[in-house]
Amino acid sequence: MSDSESRTTKEVGGIAALLRTMHDALAFAESAQERLDKLTHVIARHVASDVCSIYLRLPSDELELYSTEGLNREAVHKTRLKWGEGLVGVVAETKRPLVTSDAPLHPNFAYRPETGEDPLHSFLGVPLIRSGKSLGVFVLQNLASRRYTDEEVGAAQAVATLLAEIAASGELFDPRTTEEVGAMLHRPERLVATGVVSGVAFGKAAFHEQPAPKHKVFAKDAEAEAARLNDGLSALQASVDAMLEDTALEAAPREVLETYRLFAYDRGWKERMRAAVISGLTAEAAVEQVQAENRARMAQVKDPYLRERMVDLDDLSNRLLRRLAGKSAAPAVLPDDAILIARSLGPAELLEYDRSKLKGLALGEASTTSHVAIVARALGIPLVAGFDNAISLAEPGDDMVVDGEIGEIHIRPTPEVALSFREKQSLQSAQQAAFAAESELPCVTRDGVAVSLFMNVGIPLDMDNLERTGAAGVGLFRTELQFLIGAQLPRAGVQEKLYREIFEKAGGKPVVFRTADLGADKAASYMKRRAETNPAMGWRGMRMAVDRPGLFRPQIRALIAAAAGRELNILFPMITVASEIMAARALLNRELDWRTKRGRDMPKSIRLGAMIETPAAAWRIDDIAAHVDFLSVGGNDLMQFYYAADRDSELVQRRFDPVEAGFLSFVAMIAAKARAAGKPVTFCGEQASDLVTAAALIAVGVTRFSSPASAIGPFRRLVRSLDAAAVSKWITGHFGEAQRPLRREFEAFLRQAGAALS
């Protein structure tokens, strides 16, 4: 047996023995205080600690010493620490373990003479976390000055996790304390992150990734729980095996799943859980116990590869918990008026939900230009992103408020908070009505510069907003959504039906159809994907289309058929060099020849456009313009590639601002080159939904925009309030300055000039 195997065996045996002893202590003690005192006694003996103490959080947010082995027992229920006070208070406030070899020398040390802790030096404190909240602190102390090992910290975290579960389950405390703990877990919560899609939504919490159902901690029949664990593991392993039987899997995904399967069959993982069950835990509690130990180890691991493998094991634990609860992996059935909570969500996953029930989104990861945000904006679903803790703080069915404008989420809001947001929602509705009343007004600046406003569309439902907003037409119809939401590639006939419906709903206004911009993060389950280190700059857009004419040509065929007798505007995405336009045009010509030879009705005219989304395309825009009739700036990707900053990354997405001299001068160059080539250019990026950015883009010469329907009313009002020459003079006057954000100064200038920014 290797040293690592020997260590693992000792760890498993040690923790299993401790859990078994804790179970016995609870089984034979009578009162709540006796149970608590028994626990501290057996834990202190097991870990060879001079002191073992349990502090619990009171409704007043004080931390009270509830039980101790080693300190003065008369201090129990008398010693209290304020939130954040002393080492115990710091552990509770930060929700992180604290380890020190000399507690009295720590800057946060708080002396309590009644405890008799004067001779103690070493300190290990671990928070009791439940539903994202600190319920208390588990403390180990020793007379000698020593460092606690990683194994001891891991064991303490395992005990703390179990204590938190017991505290919440009602198995440990008296009814009054249990009720107070429950009330604490269900306090109103206010979270502030990033507003992504504006609007206020009220609803009930629902989870994309369902939390583990509630369950008992200690088992009555260890053999029955062991059998349940074995059955759950067998079902889990069978499901992973079934994934690998998919013959359509390419090499890279198969390798990933093979690694995943190794963890599913790992004997060490299985034995640790079995040992926890034998010690007296239920199967679910055993899985969570081992999961907590693994997470504690994960926090210590620096190697990214090993961390990823531990994430795989964490995911397997969650799957196993769902198996034990008899739950499937299917998408959640939403309640009425649902606020969907998820760590991350793809555009196709969002569209799978019943949109009549979905009122708001709370995501851990999403930027204003991510594809899920674009879909949510098109559907008019308020979205707030930038945190994960809503997943642990909320429970299914909790009342929630999402404010996508200011980036707030309220979980279990008070009546006063709910009322204030109801009033805000009413004001927003009134404002939208005012914008609708202005929809027929000319979109011209105060000094006579005409600005054309078009609408972004992704699904037919969006077309209902065309007349209401007064948009000049559809500047960008994203056709890829049809490819993402189905179980298979949509046939040409199905595509033709959709495009004809869009033409009819447009009522004669122009529509620009962008061919499917697939690849990167936009791929359906039926599409084979190759592993790419940087998919955003990989095989996507026109690169994929010209390599896979079987995907591109049916779409072109459907567009030509749907446009019979009408003007057809086709926009090619992710163009980098002119040769890609030439390749796409050749495929288009083949479809035109095919239709002409069969005597079919043809479009009245065909106009081709190129999406400028990369610096390479921007610098050679004159070459590209020679092969097309119009140009569109894909501001979302252009900004991403300009700054070399992933627009979906929480770490970098807010570091860069489009209202910056370098980026604005770059857009000014694109607009100037397009004018020189005699080709109209439309800015299609989501940045133009921000009024300060929109004003800056007008200042650098952009006069055609395509925006979400919700942005058109405010945009028109802004345009009518601007003096284009004045804003242009201000912006261009700052082009020579050092690279820095101009937003704050420019916004102040706009407000002073009377621009309508709200």
What are the catalytic residues? 371, 684
Place of tokens 């955003």: 536
Q: How far, in Å, CA of 360 to CA of 572, rounded? A: 32
**What is the DSSP code string of 151-208?**
HHHHHHHHHHHHHHHHHHHTSSS-HHHHHHHHHHHTS-EEEE-EEEE--EEEEEEEES
Closest CA to 620 of 661, 591, 577, 651: 577
C-alpha to C-alpha distance for 601 and 141, rounded to whole angstroms = 86
Please tell me the total number of residues recorded for the chain in this structure: 758
**3-class secondary structure, 548:** coil
Strand order in the sheet with 98-100: 80-81, 63-69, 51-57, 133-142, 122-130, 98-100
* Structure token digits, residue 537: 């700059």
Phi, psi of 569 (to 5 degrees): -110, 115
Cβ partners under 8 Å of residue 100, min gap 6: 87, 106, 122, 123
Sign of CA dihedral 58, 63, 69, 74: negative
Backbone angles phi, psi at 212, to 5 degrees: -65, 135
Q: Is 412 helix (H, G, I), strand (E, B) or coil?
A: coil
From CA 107, how far away is CA 293, in angstroms rounded?
29
Given a contact cutoff of 8 angstroms between Cβ atoms, the answer to whether 543 and 551 are in contact is: no
How far is the CA of 458 from the CAs of 297, 347, 378, 439, 705, in angstroms?
44, 11, 7, 22, 16
What does the alpha-carbon distance between residue 50 and residue 488 come to, in Å, rounded to a whole number? 65
